[in-house]
Amino acid sequence: MQVKGYVGRMCSGALVMMLALAGSDIAGAEQNRRLPLDRGEIALSFAPVVKQTAPAVVNVYSRRVVRERRSPFFDDPLFRRFFGDDAFGVERKKVQRSLGSGVIVDPSGIVVTNYHVIKNGTEIKVAFADGREFEADVMLRDKRTDLAVLRLRSRGAKFPYLAFGNSDRLQVGDLVLAIGNPFGVGQTVTSGIISALSRARGGISDYQFFIQTDAAINPGNSGGALISMDGRLAGINTAIYTRSGGSNGIGFAIPVNMVRAVVESAKTGTRVRRPWVGASLQKVTPEIAESLGLKRPVGVLVGSVFPRSPAARAGLRASDVILSVSDHQIRSKQGFNYYLATKKLGERAELKVFRGGRVRTAKIELMAAPEIPKRRSRVLRGNHPFSGAKIANLSPALAEELSMGENAYRGVVVLDVIRGSEAHRLKLKRGDIIEVINDYKMRSVADVVRAVREQTYSWSLTVRRGNKRLSTVINR
């Protein structure tokens, strides 16, 4: 018992001493906070990097007033079955609102957010965590990358901003912070790691090349900042994979190198001008790799080369496999498009190309897609199936603008369709290519105009939509 009592007194004394030391450590911790420098210091606070970066992350509010027609009997399924959705419609105004986040990337008040946050918004406001609000103008909308660039109406004021990092230097396992306004509760910071790089996630944008993170990203975080531990912007948070509607630890961010390219385009114009290759590309499957003599399925396969394009001038041929772009290994078509899109026009990119069992080097000129021929857009009128369709001559530039495939460089494309017109009833859509009218091949707007002027009671039509050809005969 005496021994136990002695041990007990020793433990009590040691405990008092430990608590005293812990108390002094806690008191000093407030003054000695700093960024974790290695794994052994992860227990330290992220507060310094948050304090440095959070003021540059803002809330973005988008508002749009639309007019819609709605029948008072619209909710009656029997009425809708017999009379349709548009019958006896009553026009009324409806306000559409969107809430997201944004990042200031220039002290003059340039803000980056997601395209889907502001989309068709006509009134956009940006709110700071300190309570200030500013109206904003759209400098550029880019649906293909799901990015938009805004400018604050600030009359020369200077703002806190985030410097661009380099997303090509990020590694799986790096610590990151996500800052945004989830569910509209106010500015929120979450932490995590980079879970994966070059992740493809269909349906978000044309450039499926994302940073994956387990830092919690929720609705309202879209357009917010993914920040590396040096206090620089690593990406723009854009989407989550979820079955519940909330964060499941799988979030996606647009790499900052792509963000930088879009912002630079916004400073010089109203749309993004990207390097054009002029070749169709496809994934290298194990079967293709074996047939070409590759040890494993890597790179992208060149399917066809557009005459006089940068790919043609670089000497690329069908069946070539592009292995890398400027020393960046290529594992998918998305990766190739990403690395090319983050480069500047006027430069040259070095490609490693596998052909005939050997690896060769090719240098490709980075130029914008040309508008050859000129689009010559025109709205068709008259008594024919295409009445109400706005058409144009297809070119590489227009094909890129419409996010069409690499093979869609020639022909006549539908730009728009007037609601209620003959073309609308024919179910023509933006991006459809008019190929044949009454057995005549349509190569230009002039060809279509001549064809629809013919006096005929029967129309034989072929339209290409994506990879499908749709043919029909209309008797009038």
Q: Which residues are catalytic?
A: 116, 146, 222
Per the CB < 8 A criterion, the answer to whether 201 and 238 are in contact is no
Spatial neighbors of 157 by CB under 8 A, at least 6 apart, are 109
Q: List strand residue ranges (DSSP E) for 128-163, in order.
A: 133-142, 147-152
Spatial neighbors of 75 by CB under 8 A, at least 6 apart, are none
Q: Which two tokens stand for residue 445?
A: 């707007």
Q: What's at 252, amino acid-wise?
A: F
Would you call 235 exposed, middle or buried from its count of C-beta atoms within 10 A (0-12, 13-18, 19+)? Answer: buried
The residue written with tokens 């069409």 in the block is: 404
The residue written with tokens 């008072």 in the block is: 72
Helices H, strands E: what count in the chain?
Answer: 11, 27
Q: What's at 261, amino acid-wise?
A: A
Per the CB < 8 A criterion, the answer to whether 113 and 102 are in contact is yes
d(CA 378, CA 383): 16
Residue-wise burial string across 119-138, b where 16 or more C-beta atoms lie within 10 A, e elsewhere: eebeebbbbbeeeeebebeb
Per the CB < 8 A criterion, the answer to whether 436 and 459 are in contact is no
Helices 256-268 and 333-341 pack at an angle, to 10 degrees, of 50
Spatial neighbors of 4 by CB under 8 A, at least 6 apart, are none
Q: How many Å separate Cα 239 from the centre of its chain?
A: 10
d(CA 340, CA 310): 12
Q: CB-side exposure of 63: number of CA atoms within 13 Å?
A: 11
d(CA 227, CA 179): 8
Task: Report phi then psi at 304, rounded to 5.
Answer: -150, 160
